[in-house]
């Protein structure tokens, strides 16, 4: 078989892209000897993700994703929609209704293992149902799972079996919500352990085209590429920054008792100003390793100028900083007393205010990053 034949016949068992052995910088590259030697060959990118936890970004535009997704509405399918519980709004696929047509949806809220141990799960499920309804989408069932720790995967499998018949199961979501990890867990449950595992990684955009895995006695599970977004801080930071803002374990909430005219920096990526109101607690839900720094409001601008990249990280001094990260805009919120409220900064977490007082808060974050309030999740 010639090298050219290898290129035509093989797809990467990790990300689904066609393997080619000639252009190192193009998607799907694998060295020829690794292609010949392996039964389930993987492209070099997937190999490096799996073995070195590193990845090279591959350019893929949203039109390609949307074409794949709009196919779903024309088929008789079961849709498993995966969202990130740590960043629900940031990981919600905006036009999901348009894409899936009349097909039933199972909502899988992943990364439940990141919420604090004291979390009231029934409340979280009710909160999710309320948020989904607000989006005008009907879901058949909601699951709170940890794909990484295989928590509740068995229940998702049972629900799929009950509904699937001979239909295909499409797994959809934005980049980096854990779709591939969920599918690896499901395949394990369905007993498909031999053969290929999908490549999983914390870096967005790992799955490059649809991957189809046949289920015994049913249709197939189809892993779709993550829809790339630009409104989350996770989309904008460097790989090193991503490590510092991505929670890896239970979040330990950080509470600061603030007087007005104080400010808190979330690394060097965002700032929360307490403009007006009585002394009260601001509780931050973010990665435990992220540095939250308190200062007086009058010193905040100068502190940012002097210490971005050193005291305030990420980003880091010495690395090429994405200019978007330093182009901040201001969001102003007036919270009236009533329900506790979260102010969410997409991709990095949220701050909860208990809502007992009339309070004015300003949030400074990179232009384009989604900042909004919601009814408190916890």
User: 152-194 pLDDT, tens per residue?
Assistant: 999 999 999 999 988 999 999 988 898 888 988 888 887 754 5
Q: How far apart are CA 249 and CA 149, in angstroms?
A: 11
At residue 4, the pLDDT reads 42
Q: How far apart are CA 128 and CA 91, in angstroms?
A: 13
User: 5-41 pLDDT, tens per residue?
Assistant: 444 478 888 888 889 999 888 888 998 888 887 878 8
Which residue blocks in 210-354 are alpha helix, DSSP H? 239-245, 297-307
Q: Are strands 292-296 and 328-335 parallel, antiparallel or unpaired?
A: unpaired
At residue 165, the pLDDT reads 86
Q: Answer yes or no: are the C-beta atoms of 163 and 155 closer than 8 Å.
A: no
At residue 258, the pLDDT reads 96
At residue 149, the pLDDT reads 93
Q: Are strands 349-353 and 341-345 parallel, antiparallel or unpaired?
A: antiparallel
At residue 205, the pLDDT reads 61
Residue 63 has which token pair? 């039109």
Q: Which domains does the chain have, with CATH numbers?
A: 3-52 (no CATH), 62-229 (3.40.50.300), 239-375 (no CATH)
First to last CA, the chain: 59
* Residue 152 region by backbone torsions, left for phi larger than 0, else alpha for psi between -120 and 50, else beta: left
Q: Answer yes or no: are the C-beta atoms of 228 and 235 closer than 8 Å.
A: yes
At residue 204, the pLDDT reads 61
Q: How far apart are CA 314 and CA 267, in angstroms?
A: 6
* Residue 205 region by backbone torsions, left for phi larger than 0, else alpha for psi between -120 and 50, else beta: left
What are the pLDDT tens digits along the chain (378 aa)?
Answer: 334 444 447 888 888 888 999 988 888 899 888 888 787 888 888 887 677 655 554 544 567 677 777 888 889 999 999 999 999 999 998 888 888 889 999 999 999 999 998 999 999 999 999 999 999 999 999 999 999 999 999 999 999 999 998 899 999 998 889 888 898 888 888 775 455 566 666 656 666 677 777 776 778 888 888 887 889 999 899 989 999 999 999 999 999 999 999 999 999 999 999 999 999 999 999 999 999 999 999 999 999 999 999 999 999 998 888 899 999 999 999 998 788 999 999 999 999 998 778 899 999 999 999 999 999 999
Q: Answer yes or no: are the C-beta atoms of 176 and 143 closer than 8 Å.
A: no
For residue 146, the cross-strand partners are 151
Which phi and psi (to 5°) does residue 176 adopt? 75, 25
Q: pTM above the 0.95 mark? A: no
């Amino acid at each position: 078989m010639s090298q050219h034949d290898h290129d035509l016949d093989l797809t990467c068992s990790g990300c689904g892209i066609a393997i080619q052995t000639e252009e190192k910088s193009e998607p799907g590259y694998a060295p020829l000897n690794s292609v010949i030697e392996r039964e389930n060959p993987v492209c070099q990118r997937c190999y490096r993700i799996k073995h070195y936890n590193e990845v090279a970004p591959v350019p893929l535009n949203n039109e390609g994703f949307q074409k794949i997704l709009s196919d779903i509405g024309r088929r008789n399918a079961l849709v498993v929609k995966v969202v990130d519980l740590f960043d629900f709004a940031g990981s919600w696929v905006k036009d999901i209704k348009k894409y899936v047509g009349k097909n039933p949806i199972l909502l899988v809220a992943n990364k439940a293992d990141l919420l604090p141990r004291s979390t009231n799960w029934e409340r979280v499920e009710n909160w999710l149902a309320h948020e989904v309804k607000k989006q005008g989408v009907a879901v058949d069932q909601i699951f709170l799972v940890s794909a990484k720790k295989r928590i509740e995967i068995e229940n998702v499998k049972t629900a799929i079996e009950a509904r699937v018949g001979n239909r295909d199961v499409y797994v959809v979501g934005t980049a980096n919500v854990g779709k591939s990890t969920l599918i690896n867990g499901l395949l394990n449950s369905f007993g498909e352990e031999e053969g290929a595992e999908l490549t999983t990684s914390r870096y967005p955009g790992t799955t490059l085209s649809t991957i189809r895995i046949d289920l015994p006695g049913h249709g197939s599970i189809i892993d779709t590429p993550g829809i790339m977004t630009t409104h989350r801080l996770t989309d904008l930071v460097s790989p090193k920054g991503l490590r510092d803002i991505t929670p890896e374990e239970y979040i330990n909430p950080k509470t600061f008792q603030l007087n007005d005219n104080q400010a808190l920096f979330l690394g060097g990526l965002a700032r929360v100003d307490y403009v007006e109101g009585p002394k009260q607690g601001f509780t931050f839900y973010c990665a435990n390793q992220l540095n939250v720094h308190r200062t007086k409001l009058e010193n905040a601008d100068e502190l940012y100028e002097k210490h971005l990249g050193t005291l305030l990280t990420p980003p880091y001094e010495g690395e090429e900083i994405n200019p978007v990260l330093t182009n901040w805009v201001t969001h102003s919120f007036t919270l009236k007393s009533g329900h506790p409220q979260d102010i969410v900064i997409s991709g990095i977490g949220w701050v909860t205010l208990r809502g007992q007082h009339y309070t004015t808060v300003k949030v400074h974050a990179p232009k384009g990053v989604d900042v909004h309030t919601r009814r408190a999740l916890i």
